[in-house]
Amino acid sequence: MIIHTQDIAKKMEIRFLKEGKDISNFVKGEEKIKFILSKGKMTTNEIYKRADLTDRAIRKILKKLEKKGEVKRIKGKEINKKVRYSDSWILKTKNLIKKVPQNKILIYYKKEHYNKGYRKHYMFFPKKIILNEKFLSALGFFDAEGSKTKYKSVEVVNSEPSLIRLFISFLDYFKIKTENLNYRIIFNNKLPYLLKMSKKEISNNAIEFWSNQVKIPINKEIKISYVGRSTGKSRANIIKYGSLNIHYNSVLFRKFLFNLIKTVKDKKMSKEESMAYLRGYFCGEAYVGKSDREIQIGSNDKEQLFFSKKLLEQIEIKSSLCNETSTCPPRLIITRLKDFIILEDKDIFRFHFDKRKNLIKKILNYKSIEDSLKGMLVRKLRKLK
């Protein structure tokens, strides 16, 4: 499946520039200063006159660029200990983008912020988005686990490293670097009591674990949070390394991502594309017990459940829709052994280790399965252990 980015921009009703177009009127902050300095050496006062920014903002940006090594400061002549001539600045970086690159499109909009005037939001996107199997799985995962309430950022949280890696690779497709992501590990307050360890020791172990699993940059801060009650019954599965929350702070990318998901859902998917999307969605949303005889997908969004049901029908999986109860949201339920075998064969839980094991154990609980299938599943389970 191929999506044209400019079609999404039109749906969002915001401006876009095609490849080769000049972007000098759209840049802000750091890029604006670099554009000004690309014309040659300038004093701080000359930059003040050319940039449509406050003096304080310009000084802050120049210091930041100097720290990054993108500009060089030439100190003005010192008159006395308190006074010197204005400093001059030279642009050092050669990676200055003046036009929309080839096979890219710039999406742009200007939004009014309360008591802060207007703010520009823009970002480069691929001209065409190719939705391969991995890409669709990442979209399905975000549809299940992505934050729907934080309108300023794209955010997911999960305790399964392979799912977090899947979403980071999705962000990498849009050239969003791991250095620009924010990380937080979330623990249950019962964990110190259950593991008989201090919070500091638990936190240090988790930071080491997630840093290795997700390749978090060494200089990036990882925040720690504890949630829930510290007393009461514990879950059967103790998540000793916590759940990793990653979020990318961008209003524009969030708007784009939700419109991309809507565009994908409006298109007719092939069986392979449906399976890829469901693979990510099930890994994030499905409940799979190892001893019961059902798989549940719960959601307060009934439209999402109907959409998932339609995709399941496309791959010949039968499911039933259950209404909301006092303890459960509306949910899809899959109960047939035949469907469990199909889902296991299609590797529906490829990105979730525990759910994958539980599905195999669930099938092995049935005495009616053939010996050849039983032997194959037992071998798979041994490899997973």
- Express each pLDDT in 27-50 by its tens digit: 777 778 888 888 888 888 888 888
Asked whether residue 284 carries a pLDDT value surpassing 80, the answer given is: yes
Q: How far is CA 82 from CA 70, 75, 77, 126, 189, in A?
A: 28, 14, 12, 51, 55
Alpha carbon distance 198, 187 (integer Å): 13
Residues 155 and 175 in one domain: yes
CATH of residue 69: 1.10.10.10
Q: What is the separation, in whole angstroms, between the first and last Cα of the chain?
A: 36
Q: How far apart are CA 159 and CA 300, in angstroms?
A: 22
Residue 188: Cβ within 10 Å count:
20
Among 64, 63, 65, 47, CA closest to 55: 47
> What tens digit of pLDDT does each residue of 145-181 get?
888 777 788 999 999 999 999 999 999 999 998 888 9
CATH number for position 226: 3.30.1330
Burial of 283 (0-12, 13-18, 19+ CB in 10 A): buried
State yes or no: pLDDT of 301 exceeds 90: no
Pair 135, 113 in one domain:
no
Same domain for 93 and 30: yes
User: Averaged over 111-136, what is the pLDDT?
Assistant: 78
- Is residue 4 assigned to a domain? no
> Mean pLDDT in the chain?
85
In a domain, 202, yes or no: yes
- Asked if 148 and 161 sit in the same domain, the reply is yes
Domain containing residue 319: CATH number: 3.10.28.10
Nearest partner of 319 among 374, 276, 362, 278, judged by Cα:
278
Query: 299 in helix, strand or coil?
Result: coil
| Whether residue 17 is found in the same domain as residue 114 | yes
Cα–Cα separations (whole angstroms), residue 189 to 182, 196, 246, 286: 22, 12, 20, 24
Shared domain for 120 and 32, answered yes or no, is yes
Residue 275 is predicted with a pLDDT of 93
Residue 259 CB-density burial (10 A; 0-12 exposed, 13-18 middle, 19+ buried): middle
Q: Which of 93, 128, 163 is the last residue of a domain?
A: 128
Three-state DSSP class for 226? strand
**Would residue 324 count as lying in a domain?**
yes
Shared domain check, 119 and 136: no
Shared domain for 156 and 134, answered yes or no, is yes
pLDDT tens digits for 241-265?
889 999 998 888 998 999 999 999 9
Q: Is residue 5 part of a domain?
A: no
Please state the pTM of the whole predicted model: 0.83
Expressed as residue numbers, the domain containing 53 is 12-128
Confidence of residue 210 (pLDDT cuts 50, 70, 90): very high
Mark whether 211 and 123 lie in a shared domain. Answer: no
Name the residue among 184, 187, 304, 300 with its Cα closest to residue 248.
Answer: 184
User: Do 111 and 33 belong to one domain?
Assistant: yes
**Structural domains counted in the chain:** 3
| Residue 1 domain-assigned (yes or no) | no
pLDDT of residue 83: 52
The answer on 100 and 215 residing in a single domain is no
- Per-residue pLDDT tens over the stretch 370-382: 888 889 988 888 8
What pLDDT shows up at residue 384? 79
Residue with tokens 């638990």: 202
